[in-house]
Amino acid sequence: MVTYADIDLIDDRNLFSCAICGLSEGDSSNLTTQNTLQTNATVGCGHQFCTSCVERELSRRKTFPCPICETLVKRVTLSTRTLDDVQCEKDTSWRRRILKIYNKAEKDFPTLLEYNNYLEEVEDISEFDLPLLLGVTS
């Protein structure tokens, strides 16, 4: 079973959009009106599908191939995520990227105050600047 932590978070635009129609939660799409993404998580690929595309594909047949990796998708292998879940995962992936760059420890600073100032700076980057630094647009 694929966990969300196992999914490669290199390209957030693909991770958080429907693998069939390509619309993401930021688009004026069924993702904003349906308020969910469905993930093919139980058997493997972890790709996302919007509710409308899943319903359309499963009304035609019992399974359909993931357009990205050809893994068969069944209703029982799908798990539903809300847009809040998606945004939380985006934030987490951004913070992980920051920690790969800003990875100093307390021992790297002469005083606790300087270390705490460093941590505040990293948090400020996490909250405001990271999407811009990574070239991710909403």
CATH architecture of 4-82: 2-Layer Sandwich (3.30)
Q: What is the pLDDT of residue 110?
A: 96
Sheet harboring 48-50: ordered strands across? 48-50, 36-40, 78-82
| N- to C-terminal Cα separation, the chain | 29
Q: How far is CA 33 from the centre of its chain?
A: 19
Domain map of the chain by residue range?
A: 4-82, 88-134
The secondary structure of residue 126, as a DSSP letter, is I
**Each residue's pLDDT tens digit, 61-118:** 999 998 888 888 888 888 776 667 767 777 787 778 887 888 899 999 999 999 999 9
Q: How far apart are CA 134 and CA 90, in angstroms?
A: 12
